[in-house]
Amino acid sequence: MQWLDLLSDYTFQNVVIGASLLGLISGPLGCFAMLRRQSLLGDALSHAALPGVCLSFIITGSRDIGGIIIGALATGSLAALTMLLLTRHSRLKTDAAIGVCLSIFFALGIVLLTYIQGTNNASQGGLEAFLFGQAAATLRSDLWIMGAITLATLALLGIFWKQAKLVTFDAEYARTLGMPTTAIEATLTAMVALAVVVGLQMVGVILMAAMIVAPAAAARQWSRHLGSMLAIAAGVGIVSGVSGATISTLSRGLATGPLIILTATAIVLISLALAPGRGLLWGAIKHYRQKEALQRQQLLYTFYKHPRAAQRYRTTFGSRRVLGKLNRQGYLARSPDDGIEWSLTPQGQAAAKRVVATFEEVAP
Amino acid sequence: MIAELLTNTALPIILVGAMVGIASSAVGTFLVLRGNSMLSDAISHSIVFGIVIVWLLTQQQSGPIQLVGAALTGLLTVLLTEALANTKRVKQDAAIGLVFPALFSIGVLLLNVYAHDVHIDTHTVLLGEIGFVWLDTIDLWGLPVPQALVSMSVMTLLNYGFIGLFYKELKLATFDPALAKTFGFMPTILFYGLLMLTSSTAVAAFDAVGAVLFIAFAIVPASAAYLLTDRLWMMFIIGALISIASSLSGYYLAIHLNVSIGGMMAVMTGVFLMLAFLAGPRYGVLTQLAKRRHARKAPVEPPTSP
């Protein structure tokens, strides 16, 4: 019953739909940003949206979402252009260019914001909302716009799919084919700016950085193909959006944005640990097994070649465990005369011979 | 007379602004040169988490414990980022983008839960209140000195003390880490020392300029200096000069336009960077253009055969 109440709650519906839209758009675009080694682009563009939002407020005098989108897109693009100029025409590296644009555009936004607060005392208090998002205040009309942006962006991505893919993985080759690489790169960047606009309302400026990176980083672990990676990233984005929004509504008082980000981060950690093939856990297990196999070979070899010296192996812990295992498997047994020293059983002899044969073959 | 100057509101604010710039551009110079500028972004955001944690544990909002505690979180961010990047599953910039929002989120949620007890306003967290530094003073030799000025001066001394002490080692570690390692200079440990100082500077500058503007003070003057000179020691001097100039011009512009003082100071650092980018004597874009035009007009000398 409680769940039914929740599902029919107007605010909850809006937040969940908004969060899913954000996941749907930021996941796929984040993949492109990450693969192009511009993971922090989202961070910079979201900070650079602040002056645009303020400018649109100064010009239109209202908090109309259409104006905010155009403003944020304009200053976001300007910041991206500045970054490009700084990296292409000066000795500054990408990281410095991103940091410079991020902080200066944000500072400019702060200046404009205080200017607004100083001149007309109209609906302000927007900064807090802008920095941390205000998911609960999402309106149905906002959702339509966010949905339209998401759809349009994904459709555009679909149209330029082949070109975007080639530019991402081999820009030089794309250029030799005569593709307008700069235009395609600019389009991809502008689309990230659009994703940022959708995210401002939900998670705010600062956390938008993670919304671009986290779903893409998680998806990268599960897939080696761009198409499926994009789909997984969108899925991760939606799941973290929906669960973050749900936890926030159920807990009453915890901010939605941070919860969405923490859910996404948790998914990244799980993916890093468990993803088939790339997962750290599988890597650790494989390493452990290899280590054990090597120790087993070493033990069998030494017992076969130097039965007296081999007794010393008992001192280390790892060897003692492998020793016990070999004993249980019937390769080794306590020697019959004193019951302390180890010796190879006939089965162990055979196995040891095989090991020795491989070693001698490699290094005669 | 000095007391009078200090009670005047303009001077403390300008001094604090300049000191924040000098202290943070000192460490920022190395970040820019090493290509790790975005670590300042990560550190400055995640110390929000550190400040909340330290507050919850010790109920202290300022003082050395808070400074060190929060600075350690900055270092933790870097360690986590490196650990994540070392798994080879994500690139370093992606690792930065994963770690600091997560820590920041935890910080914000903790603020959410304990909002009624904690005295940290999210507004100040990100922007700082440089306009009010003169309100919070401590007595030094009978003079009311703003606390922010004292802490920033201490950080400036610490930063330049460290850099002065290890100048040769830092220089080599920055430009040729492999050679520094073979000489036994331990570039990694040096770098972590530098990051600890960056972290502490960010915490000390926090009340004055907040998390985001700290990035501007740390890397923009340093970047501008990088565009103007090829010498490391000159970078520090230019960085400090740009900080002072930005603080001065930013303050008066902000008062004139009635806008945020910290924000305007940061914008001014950007203006100086743009000037350096366009009109720098050697690498400036316009200078290069002029040089090229000049070269094109100059008559081509035929190669003299020996």
DSSP annotation of A9: -
- Interchain proximity A221–B100, CB inside 8 Å: no
DSSP annotation of B63: S
Distances (CA, A) of B65 to A34, A39, B52, B53, B59: 38, 34, 13, 12, 10
Q: Is A261 on the interface with B (CB under 8 A)?
A: yes
Question: How far apart are alpha carbons A102 and A50 in whole angstroms?
Answer: 10
The pLDDT of residue B33 is 92
Contact A14, A138 (CB under 8 A): yes
Question: How far apart are alpha carbons A146 and A155 in whole angstroms?
Answer: 14
- Interchain proximity A115–B102, CB inside 8 Å: no
- Interchain proximity A95–B35, CB inside 8 Å: yes
Is residue B306 domain-resident? no
- Residue numbers of the domain that contains B158: 2-297
- List the single residue in A34, A132, A278 with the smallest CB-CB distance to B108: A132
What ipTM was reported for this prediction? 0.89
Distances (CA, A) of B181 to B165, B187, B190: 18, 6, 11
β-pairing, A342-344 with A332-334? antiparallel
Closest among A240, A164, A251, A231 to A199, alpha carbons compared: A240
- Interchain proximity A93–B35, CB inside 8 Å: yes
Band the pLDDT of A294: cuts 50, 70, 90: confident
Extended beta strands in B141-212, E state: 143-146
The residue-averaged pLDDT of A34-42 equals 87
Query: Helices in A61-180 by DSSP H: which ranges?
Result: 65-89, 94-119, 126-132, 140-159, 161-169, 171-176
B270 contact residues in A (CB cutoff 8 A): 100, 103-104, 107-108
Instruction: Between A273 and B208, name the one with better pLDDT.
Output: A273
Is residue B85 domain-resident? yes
- Interchain proximity B220–A100, CB inside 8 Å: yes
Is residue B47 domain-resident? yes
Question: How far apart are alpha carbons A93 and B37 in whole angstroms?
Answer: 9
Question: How far apart are alpha carbons A222 and A233 in whole angstroms?
Answer: 10
Is residue B303 domain-resident? no
Extended beta strands in chain A, E state: 332-334, 342-344
Q: Which helix (H) or strand (E) holds A19?
A: helix A10-35
Question: How far apart are alpha carbons A259 and A207 in whole angstroms?
Answer: 10
Question: How far apart are alpha carbons B135 and B128 in whole angstroms?
Answer: 14
What CATH number has the domain bearing residue B83? Answer: 1.10.3470.10
- Direct distance between the N- and C-terminal alpha carbons of chain A, in angstroms, rounded to an integer: 76
pLDDT at A364 over 60: no
Q: Is A272 on the interface with B (CB under 8 A)?
A: yes
- Interchain proximity B109–A258, CB inside 8 Å: yes
Distances (CA, A) of A155 to A151, A189, B121: 6, 16, 42
The pLDDT of residue B2 is 56
- List the single residue in B37, B213, B257 with the smallest CB-CB distance to A115: B257
Which residue, chain included where needed, has tokens 């253009």? B289
List, for residues A193-207, the tens digit of each pLDDT value.
Answer: 888 888 887 888 878
Is residue B161 domain-resident? yes
- Interchain proximity A103–B219, CB inside 8 Å: yes
pLDDT at A187 over 80: yes
The pLDDT of residue B124 is 60
Predicted confidence pLDDT, tens digits, chain B (306 residues) = 455 555 577 888 888 889 999 999 999 999 999 888 889 888 988 888 888 888 788 776 666 777 788 888 888 999 999 888 888 888 888 899 899 889 988 988 887 777 655 555 556 666 667 767 766 777 677 677 777 888 888 889 999 999 999 998 899 988 888 888 888 888 888 888 999 999 989 888 887 777 778 899 999 999 999 999 989 999 999 999 999 999 999 999 988 888 888 889 999 999 999 999 998 888 888 888 888 888 888 777 777 766
Closest among B278, B2, B237 to B140, alpha carbons compared: B2
Chain B 121-150, residues with CB within 8 Å of chain A CB atoms? 122-123, 126-127
Band the pLDDT of A219: cuts 50, 70, 90: very high
DSSP annotation of B134: G
How confident is the prediction for chain A on average, in pLDDT? 83
Question: How far apart are alpha carbons A189 and A77 in whole angstroms?
Answer: 8
List, for residues A321-359, the tens digit of each pLDDT value.
Answer: 777 788 788 787 776 666 667 777 888 888 888 888 877
Best residue in A98, A103, A278 for a mutation probing chain B (most B CBs within 10 Å): A103
Q: What percent of chain A has pLDDT over 90?
A: 20
Least confident of A59-68, A262-271, A332-341, B89-98: A332-341
Contacts of residue A227, defined as CB under 8 A and 6 or more positions apart, other chains included, come to none
- List the single residue in B91, B267, B285 with the smallest CB-CB distance to A89: B285
B104 contact residues in A (CB cutoff 8 A): 206-207, 258
Strand partners, A332: A344
pLDDT at A81 over 70: yes
Contact A314, A288 (CB under 8 A): no
Question: How far apart are alpha carbons B172 and B108 in whole angstroms?
Answer: 40
Question: How far apart are alpha carbons B223 and B213 in whole angstroms?
Answer: 15
- Direct distance between the N- and C-terminal alpha carbons of chain B, in angstroms, rounded to an integer: 74
Question: How far apart are alpha carbons A193 and A46 in whole angstroms?
Answer: 7
CA angle A246–A250–A254, rounded 5-degree value: 90
Contact B165, B250 (CB under 8 A): no
Q: How many domains does chain B have?
A: 1
- Interchain proximity A268–B87, CB inside 8 Å: no
List, for residues A87-121, the tens digit of each pLDDT value.
Answer: 888 888 888 999 999 999 999 988 888 888 776 65
For B187, list phi and psi in degrees, rounded to 5.
Answer: -60, -35
